[in-house]
Chains A and B, each alone.
Chain A
């Protein structure tokens, strides 16, 4: 039996791995790595472990793996609290699958900038995640709940055989669906809700007795203390789930701020043209083409400092 590898050797292997994986290594770097590898059989053994792990991980499907690991941890956190108590007092039968008290489903769903995702939930409800969004799906025996951490979702609820309420929780409060289709957008300090079909109820976190009902075609926003005024929902709310951004008589600055959510990097609007007005339907999957269209239709200049730094300015 071979001896255990010492921690310095393993750390050296880890450093090489991180270094070589991160960048396209130059010849000198590759040569240095080869020299290290051949310097001792221990190094070669450590590197063999690196390759073993690497090939194992390479076969993992990303979304399923991330959801599984997050879900396993969430379950464990909940049950370990109960476990600690029960182990101490010797409770009976709790570990049998049927009797695990926490039956929640927790799944981490996340999109990157410019990405959208359609998710079908176990009860038949559907959720679209807009660009740069993150949510957890938490279903228990009593409640169907979505925790929206960031970004925007479009929800179509299905009626539940168990009759469980459906809620979206944000840092500012909760949105309870009354059998419906609606969008929830979670911004800094504020949640905006727009109802497309039927109705929802809004409850600010610190003021749960203030319940405000929103009906189809209405929108409103709330912070932790209160719900703001109710206004008519804009045309094309939720159109992003079809890849469209629809605007009617928007300021150019507002439009670019919205468009900027769908592209990586910085999209700036020069103050001199901020108040230009525009209307139309735009494809958010191809923001470069949208900018090109703006250049032609509004007679503005689109200046690319880099791919990720774009300024729209007077022509």
Chain B
């Protein structure tokens, strides 16, 4: 980050941080969550575009904050669903708290990877990867050909590879 960028960011921070925290608090009902997300919003700015080019700082900041809020919400929704899924099991899953957390983090990753794929692609991917169905059984379940199953899987896998770090 160049020097003018740095200065611009400082100005942005001192002028709008208080406003952003208040904006977030009004929507989240929790001051510490709001402070965390305001911080995250500025961190996101650091790694994004040329700060000096921003014309409408509050519109821009609230757009980032909104996206982060939705991420946080998605994570929370998934966390609730995960706890319920564990509670729903007929036999309890005998796993350590570490494994439990690891599974959850992987599910968050899978959920993010699959977001934006078509419903059918998603279903087929889950049937093969998670249920362990073979291609023929998957094709029969969704009334499509094995070639189509493969096409969906390739689409899903390509997206996953694209979004995965080395």
Query: Which A residues are within 8 Å of any B CB, using their own CB?
Result: 2, 5, 7, 10-11, 13-15, 17-19, 21-22, 45-46, 48-50, 52-53, 56-57, 59-76, 79-80, 83, 86-87, 90-97, 99, 105-107, 117-122, 137
With contacts A10-B158, A61-B103 taken as known, whether A83 is within 8 angstroms of B70 at the C-beta atoms is: yes
Across the two chains, which residue of chain A brings its CB closest to B29? A93
Return chain A residues, CB-CB under 8 Å to B8.
Answer: none
Question: Judging by beta carbons under 8 Å apart, are A13 and B81 in contact?
Answer: no
B78 at interface (Cβ–Cβ under 8 A)? yes
The residue that B27 contacts in the complex, of A49, A64, A67, A94, with Cβ under 8 A, is A94
B149 to chain A, nearest CB (A): 8
Q: What per-residue 1/0 map shows which CB atoms of B83-116 lie under 8 Å from chain A?
A: 0111111100100000000110011011100100
Bound: A61/B106 CA distance, A: 11
Question: Judging by beta carbons under 8 Å apart, are B135 and A71 in contact?
Answer: no
The residue that A96 contacts in the complex, of B30, B74, B103, B109, with Cβ under 8 A, is B30
Return chain B residues, CB-CB under 8 Å to A86.
Answer: 27
The residue that B74 contacts in the complex, of A19, A72, A90, A105, with Cβ under 8 A, is A72
With contacts A57-B129, A61-B93, A96-B29 taken as known, whether A18 is within 8 angstroms of B154 at the C-beta atoms is: yes
Bound: A48/B161 CA distance, A: 10
Return chain B residues, CB-CB under 8 Å to A94.
Answer: 27, 29
The residue that B103 contacts in the complex, of A48, A50, A65, with Cβ under 8 A, is A65
Tell me the dominant secondary structure on chain A's binding face.
Answer: helix
B58 at interface (Cβ–Cβ under 8 A)? no
B51 at interface (Cβ–Cβ under 8 A)? no
Return chain A residues, CB-CB under 8 Å to B135.
Answer: 22
Bound: A22/B114 CA distance, A: 20
B16 at interface (Cβ–Cβ under 8 A)? no
The residue that B77 contacts in the complex, of A53, A67, A75, with Cβ under 8 A, is A75
Return chain B residues, CB-CB under 8 Å to A70.
Answer: 81
With contacts A46-B161, A87-B66, A107-B88 taken as known, whether A57 is within 8 angstroms of B29 at the C-beta atoms is: no
Question: Judging by beta carbons under 8 Å apart, are B164 and A49 in contact?
Answer: yes
17 new A-B contacts, CB < 8 A, other than A64-B93, A69-B111, are A11-B158, A13-B161, A14-B158, A22-B134, A22-B150, A48-B166, A50-B157, A53-B164, A59-B103, A60-B106, A68-B81, A69-B107, A72-B81, A86-B27, A90-B27, A93-B27, A120-B88
Return chain A residues, CB-CB under 8 Å to B114.
Answer: 69
Return chain B residues, CB-CB under 8 Å to A137.
Answer: 88
B6 at interface (Cβ–Cβ under 8 A)? no
The residue that A14 contacts in the complex, of B82, B86, B103, B157, with Cβ under 8 A, is B157
A selection of 17 A-B contacts at a CB cut-off of 8 Å is A10-B158, A14-B158, A22-B150, A49-B161, A67-B84, A68-B78, A68-B85, A75-B81, A76-B73, A76-B74, A83-B73, A86-B27, A90-B26, A94-B29, A95-B28, A107-B85, A119-B90
Bound: A99/B28 CA distance, A: 10
Q: By the criterion of a CB under 8 Å from any partner CB, how many residues of chain B are at the interface?
A: 53
Bound: A14/B110 CA distance, A: 16
B132 at interface (Cβ–Cβ under 8 A)? yes
B130 at interface (Cβ–Cβ under 8 A)? yes
B56 at interface (Cβ–Cβ under 8 A)? no
Question: Judging by beta carbons under 8 Å apart, are A57 and B130 in contact?
Answer: yes
Question: Judging by beta carbons under 8 Å apart, are B70 and A72 in contact?
Answer: no
B69 at interface (Cβ–Cβ under 8 A)? yes
Bound: A70/B26 CA distance, A: 30
Question: Judging by beta carbons under 8 Å apart, are A60 and B130 in contact?
Answer: yes
Question: Judging by beta carbons under 8 Å apart, are B103 and A57 in contact?
Answer: no
Across the two chains, which residue of chain A brings its CB closest to B160? A53
Bound: A139/B66 CA distance, A: 29
Q: Which of A68, A94, A122 has the most CB of B within 10 A?
A: A68
Across the two chains, which residue of chain A brings its CB closest to B62? A87
A188 to chain B, nearest CB (A): 15
With contacts A76-B73, A91-B27, A93-B28 taken as known, whether A65 is within 8 angstroms of B150 at the C-beta atoms is: no
Question: Judging by beta carbons under 8 Å apart, are B76 and A97 in contact?
Answer: yes
B126 at interface (Cβ–Cβ under 8 A)? yes
Question: Judging by beta carbons under 8 Å apart, are B131 and A66 in contact?
Answer: yes
Question: Judging by beta carbons under 8 Å apart, are B29 and A2 in contact?
Answer: no
State which residues 33-47 of B face A: CB under 8 Å: 33
A267 to chain B, nearest CB (A): 16
